[in-house]
C-alpha cells in the first residue's frame, strides 16, 4: 500500500485565495454555497469557470427557476467563464476544456466544487487534470445537503435521475482486465436499488462487495440505502463493508483494501452510486490504479432538484497521481493533516 497525503477540512478554514474554481450550475441551494462563503469571508477568487449543462438549463427555464440557476453571476466579482456541456457527450466537453485558459497553464492551481457535477463529468475532469493538464493535486470542494428529496416516503422513492438508463463505463475509466476476466464488482450503495441491480446484471461479477456510507450524512441514510438495495444486501455471497459518507479518503482506504485482496486475480469494477465524497474516493483509486474500471448508470435525464438546503462544506486536497511530486505537493497543501495509509 502506498501512502498518500490528504487534507480534509471545513471550507470555512479554506485558503485565503483560490486561483481558479470550477463549479457546475444548478438549482440546489448547495450549488453556490462555497461562492457565498467566498464572498462573505473575503477569499480572493482569481477566476470562476461555470459548467452549464444544456439539458439542465432547458429544464430550469421550463420550471421558471432561472434566477436560482444563474445566481452565481451576482455572487462573484472575478472574471467568469461559462462553458456549455451536454450530459450526452462528455468527450466533447473534455476535448473542449483541455485548451481553456487558465486551465492550460500548469502554474494555475485548480479547485473544483463537485456538489452539482454529475459523476461522469467530475471523474473525467479529475483524470484530465492529472493526465493531460499535468496537475499533481487538485482542491475539491463538496457541500453536504441537509436532506434529500424523497417524493413518496423514504424507501424506493429517491431519484437523482429519471427515465431510461444505460449502464456505461465512465469516459476514460475503462480499466484493464488483462487475463483477469472474472470480475469483482464494488458498489458504493445509494438510494436507488434498481440501478445497482441493473449494474450487477450488466457486469456479471463473480463476487460483489457492497460499501455502505456509514456514518451517513444523516443517521437514517445508512438504513435507507440498505433497504433500497435489499436484494443485493440479502444475498449471502455479497460482502458488506462501510466507509464514511463524507470522507473520500475513508472510501479510498476501503477500496484500496479490496484492491489489495482481489486486484491481482480479478478485474475490479466500481459503481459509485453513493455520496459524492465516496465517489471521489473511488475516482482517486481508479486514477491511482488504471486497471480499475468505473461503471455508472447513465440516465436519460437527471432530477432538477434532489437535495434540500445544505450543511457543512468540505475542502479536500487530493493527489491525482501516486508520484512523489503529488505526495510532496499534497503534503505542502495539507494543513495539519498527516500522511495516511
65 scored as a contact of another protein (CB under 8 A): no
Q: How far is the CB of 90 from another protein (least distance, A)?
A: 7
Distance of alpha carbon 191 from alpha carbon 229, whole angstroms:
8
Q: How far is the CB of 163 from another protein (least distance, A)?
A: 5
Size of interface with another protein, in residues (CB under 8 A): 52
Which is closer to another protein, CB of 54 or CB of 78? 54
Torsion of CA 114, 119, 120, 126, to 10 degrees: 40
Which of 4, 33, 56, 90 is close enough to bind another protein by CB under 8 A? 90
Using CB atoms within 10 A of its CB, is residue 13 exposed (0-12), middle (13-18) or buried (19+)?
A: exposed
44 scored as a contact of another protein (CB under 8 A): no
Which is closer to another protein, CB of 85 or CB of 317? 85
Distance of alpha carbon 296 from alpha carbon 279, whole angstroms:
11
Residue with cell 461503471: 295
What is the number of other CB atoms lying within 10 angstroms of the CB of residue 252?
23
Report phi then psi at 256, rounded to 5: -65, -40
235 scored as a contact of another protein (CB under 8 A): yes
Distance of alpha carbon 160 from alpha carbon 268, whole angstroms:
25
305 scored as a contact of another protein (CB under 8 A): no
154-213 residues in contact with another protein (CB under 8 A) are 156, 162-169, 171-179, 194-195, 197-198, 200-206, 208
**Residue ranges in contact with another protein by CB under 8 A:** 89-92, 94-95, 98, 124, 127-128, 131-132, 156, 162-169, 171-179, 194-195, 197-198, 200-206, 208, 231, 234-237, 290, 293, 295, 297, 300
Amino acid at each position: 500500500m502506498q501512502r498518500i497525503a490528504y487534507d480534509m477540512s471545513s471550507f470555512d478554514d479554506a485558503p485565503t485565495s483560490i486561483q481558479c474554481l470550477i463549479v457546475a450550475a444548478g438549482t440546489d441551494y448547495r450549488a453556490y454555497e462555497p461562492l457565498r462563503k467566498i464572498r462573505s469571508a473575503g477569499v480572493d477568487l482569481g477566476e470562476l469557470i461555470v459548467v452549464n449543462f444544456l439539458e439542465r438549463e432547458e429544464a430550469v427555464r421550463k420550471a421558471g427557476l432561472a434566477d436560482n440557476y444563474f445566481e452565481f453571476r451576482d455572487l462573484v466579482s472575478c472574471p467568469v467563464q461559462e462553458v456549455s456541456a451536454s450530459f450526452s457527450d462528455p468527450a466533447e466537453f473534455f476535448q473542449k476544456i483541455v485548451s481553456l485558459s487558465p486551465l492550460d497553464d500548469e502554474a494555475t492551481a485548480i479547485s473544483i466544487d463537485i456538489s452539482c457535477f454529475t459523476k461522469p463529468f467530475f471523474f473525467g475532469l479529475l483524470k484530465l487534470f492529472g493526465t493531460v493538464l499535468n496537475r499533481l493535486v487538485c482542491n475539491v470542494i463538496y457541500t453536504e445537503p441537509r436532506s434529500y428529496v424523497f417524493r413518496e416516503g423514504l424507501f424506493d422513492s429517491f431519484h437523482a435521475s429519471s427515465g431510461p438508463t444505460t449502464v456505461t463505463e465512465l469516459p476514460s475509466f475503462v480499466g484493464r482486465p488483462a487475463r483477469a476476466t472474472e470480475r469483482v464488482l464494488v458498489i458504493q450503495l445509494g438510494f436507488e436499488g434498481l440501478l445497482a441491480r441493473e449494474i450487477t446484471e450488466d457486469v456479471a461479477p463473480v463476487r460483489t462487495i457492497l460499501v455502505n456510507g456509514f456514518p451517513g450524512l444523516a443517521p437514517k441514510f445508512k438504513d435507507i440505502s440498505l433497504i433500497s438495495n435489499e436484494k443485493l444486501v440479502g444475498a449471502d455471497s455479497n460482502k458488506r463493508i462501510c466507509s464514511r459518507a463524507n470522507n473520500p479518503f475513508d472510501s479510498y482506504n476501503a477500496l484500496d483494501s479490496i484492491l489489495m485482496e482481489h486486484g491481482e486475480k480479478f478485474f475490479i469494477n466500481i459503481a459509485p452510486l453513493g455520496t459524492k465524497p465516496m465517489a471521489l474516493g473511488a475516482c482517486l483509486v481508479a486514477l491511482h490504479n488504471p486497471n480499475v474500471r468505473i461503471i455508472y448508470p447513465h440516465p436519460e435525464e437527471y432530477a432538477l432538484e434532489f437535495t434540500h438546503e445544505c450543511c457543512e462544506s468540505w475542502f479536500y486536497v487530493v493527489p491525482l497521481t501516486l508520484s512523489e511530486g503529488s505526495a510532496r505537493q499534497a503534503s505542502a497543501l495539507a494543513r495539519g493533516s498527516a500522511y495516511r495509509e
